[in-house]
């Protein structure tokens, strides 16, 4: 139920942004996106500061980044966005089916940015687990409100690609909910702490790359760090050196 509510609010917020966002002056929309970027960076920093083992977060990001590049996660997300763009917009070449560079680049950017922002973070993980185990979707309901306003702002600036982030939300949060019982029995508090810290660094990367546009970062490639972090904590704890790092 929580994931369905989240999908509904993103669609509603995105549609409002598409319908009324164009009425806002360009400078206003840019300011809103910049505000979201600054807020995202601040949230990411706060999440990272919860870490008790910074070296674990660093190792998780490095190993996760290597795995992400090996699995070509960023390219996969971009390709999915491009496929959706060819299917649902007129920016593709009708004869070849290829995307014409520069004609609708905001579609992929909006899809990637919204997917990552809406799915990376402790609320998505904890809320999905809580929903799956107890049926209590309060955490995801709160997240849904935040995502709805985010979708409104994103879609007004980045276009219809933001709406298709609900695919990633459905698969990601829905999958976590279905696996909640198993995940809850495996993830300890220290694991959750370092996973949250790694997610915080990824959020900072999103702010720097997609929202504030300071420097391009292949943020999607770092998503495996969310899985690597708890595994590293479990390994270090098993060999008795977690407290020393």
In whole angstroms, what is the distance from residue 198 CA to residue 237 CA? 18
Per-range mean pLDDT, top range of 54-63, 79-88, 103-112, 134-143? 54-63
More confident residue, 172 or 187: 172
Question: What's the confidence (pLDDT) of residue 108?
Answer: 85
The two tokens of residue 200 are 């915080």
* Vertex 194 angle, CA 204 and 192, to 5°: 115
Task: Provide the mean pLDDT of the chain.
Answer: 84
Strand partners, 99: 92
Asked if residues 57 and 197 have their Cβ atoms less than 8 Å apart, the reply is yes
Question: What's the confidence (pLDDT) of residue 102?
Answer: 45
In whole angstroms, what is the distance from residue 77 CA to residue 97 CA? 18
pTM, two decimal places: 0.78
> Cα dist. 165→147, 176, 231 in Å?
11, 16, 28
Question: What's the confidence (pLDDT) of residue 137?
Answer: 86
Question: What's the confidence (pLDDT) of residue 53?
Answer: 95
pLDDT of residue 233 exceeding 90, the answer is yes
């Amino acid at each position: 139920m929580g994931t369905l509510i989240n999908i509904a609010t993103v669609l509603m917020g995105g549609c409002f942004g598409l319908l009324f966002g164009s009425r806002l002056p360009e400078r206003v929309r840019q300011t809103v996106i910049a505000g979201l970027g600054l807020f995202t960076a601040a949230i990411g920093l706060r999440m990272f500061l919860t870490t008790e083992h910074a070296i674990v977060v660093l190792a998780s990001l490095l190993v996760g980044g290597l795995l992400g590049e090996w699995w070509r996660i960023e390219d996969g997300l971009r390709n999915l966005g491009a496929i959706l763009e060819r299917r649902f917009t007129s920016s593709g070449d009708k004869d070849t089916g290829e995307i014409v560079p520069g004609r609708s680049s905001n579609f992929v950017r909006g899809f990637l940015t919204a997917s990552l922002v809406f799915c990376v973070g402790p609320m998505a993980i904890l809320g999905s687990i809580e929903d799956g185990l107890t049926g209590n979707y309060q955490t995801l309901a709160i997240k849904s409100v935040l995502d709805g306003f985010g979708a409104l702002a994103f879609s007004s600036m980045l276009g219809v690609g933001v709406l298709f982030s609900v695919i990633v939300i459905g698969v990601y949060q829905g999958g976590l909910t279905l696996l909640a019982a198993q995940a809850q029995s495996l993830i300890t508090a220290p694991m959750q702490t370092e996973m949250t810290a790694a997610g915080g660094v990824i959020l900072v990367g999103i702010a720097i790359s997609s929202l504030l546009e300071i420097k391009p970062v292949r943020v999607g490639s770092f998503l495996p760090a969310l899985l690597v972090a708890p595994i590293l904590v479990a390994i270090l704890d098993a060999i008795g050196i977690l407290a020393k790092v």
